[in-house]
């Protein structure tokens, strides 16, 4: 079966399936579970076609999207997933395939980690806002810390990338300034700054001691 035939089968079959269900929905109420079953069966069918030739990666993506939407409808119907948490569910399910591609592929493709991290950070922020743990100034602090963390990771993976400390430290300091302005966490920011200062001082001291010992030897 050639590529064009597979594409026609996948898209034609999905259009017929979804179109038929939508048409029946205009006549009578199908209910969410019929849609869950239809989407799940459609996703399974596409995956079965993909398994015959795994070079057609796009079919795996189509299958994943169909199964994800089916799972979303099922979770909402069973009231397991609150409506407010839909953005978190969607963002995490976008990040998961990217993470799988990174883990199964060439680890040098670290660029994939950037959208994964952004999606995860935003997905984590949504429930915190809904629960009232993040609001106002704390949202700004969260975003700034989320921006600062990758720069520190770049530096700690290779200390030669010292330039990463500049935007990382600046962004973190601004984030701490927002925390200081927030009464609920007014003690966290000063303690965090003290700990960071002690760590940097101790690290510098240890490096100098190590350099002296190497020069002595």
Q: Got the DSSP string for 29-58?
A: ---HHHHHHHHHHHHHHHHHHHHT-TT-HH
Q: Verify that 43 and 10 share a domain, yes or no.
A: yes
State pTM to two decimals. 0.63
- Residue 62 CB neighbours (<10 A): 20
Q: Which segments of 105-187 does DSSP mark as H helices, in order?
A: 113-130, 137-157, 165-181
Greatest mean pLDDT range, 100-104, 141-145, 169-173, 176-180: 141-145
Q: Specify the pLDDT at position 10.
A: 83
CA–CA gap between residue 115 and residue 33 (Å, rounded): 33
Q: Specify the pLDDT at position 161.
A: 80
pLDDT in tens, 69-88: 999 999 988 988 887 788 88
CA distances from 145 to 38, 98, 166 (A): 42, 23, 14
Q: Verify that 49 and 73 share a domain, yes or no.
A: yes
Q: Verify that 90 and 145 share a domain, yes or no.
A: no
How much is the mean pLDDT over the chain?
Answer: 79
CA–CA gap between residue 13 and residue 46 (Å, rounded): 9
Q: Verify that 89 and 163 share a domain, yes or no.
A: no
pLDDT in tens, 154-168: 788 777 887 888 888
Q: Verify that 126 and 145 share a domain, yes or no.
A: no
- Please name which of 35, 28, 33 lies closest in space to residue 77, comparing C-alpha atoms: 33
Structure tokens at 92: 């995490």
Q: Verify that 98 and 61 share a domain, yes or no.
A: no
Q: Verify that 167 and 187 share a domain, yes or no.
A: yes
Domain that holds residue 177: 137-217
Residue 60 pLDDT greater than 60, yes or no: yes
pLDDT in tens, 13-31: 888 888 888 888 888 888 8
Q: Verify that 189 and 152 share a domain, yes or no.
A: yes
Number of domains the chain contains: 3
Last residue of a domain, one of 72, 99, 134: 134
Last residue of a domain, one of 134, 152, 168: 134
Last residue of a domain, one of 42, 61, 81: 81
Q: Specify the pLDDT at position 106.
A: 59
Q: Verify that 23 and 75 share a domain, yes or no.
A: yes
């Amino acid at each position: 079966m050639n590529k064009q035939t597979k594409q026609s089968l996948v898209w034609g079959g999905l259009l017929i399936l979804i179109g038929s269900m939508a048409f029946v929905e205009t006549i009578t109420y199908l209910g969410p579970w019929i849609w869950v079953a239809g989407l799940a069966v459609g996703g399974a069918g596409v995956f079965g076609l993909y398994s015959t030739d795994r070079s057609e990666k796009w079919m795996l993506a189509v299958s994943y999207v169909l199964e994800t939407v089916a799972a979303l409808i099922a979770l909402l119907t069973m009231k397991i997933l609150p409506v407010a948490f839909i953005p978190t569910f969607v963002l995490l399910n976008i990040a998961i395939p990217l993470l799988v591609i990174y883990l199964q592929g060439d680890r040098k493709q670290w660029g994939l980690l950037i959208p994964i991290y952004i999606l995860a950070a935003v997905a984590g922020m949504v429930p915190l806002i809904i629960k009232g743990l993040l609001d106002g100034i704390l949202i700004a602090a969260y975003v700034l810390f989320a921006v600062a963390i990758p720069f520190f990771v770049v530096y700690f993976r290779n200390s030669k990338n010292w330039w990463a400390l500049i935007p990382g430290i600046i962004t973190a300091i601004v984030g701490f300034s927002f925390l200081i302005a927030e009464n609920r966490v007014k003690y966290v920011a000063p303690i965090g700054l003290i700990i960071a200062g002690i760590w940097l001082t101790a690290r510098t001291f240890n490096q100098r001691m190590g350099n002296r010992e190497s020069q002595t030897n």
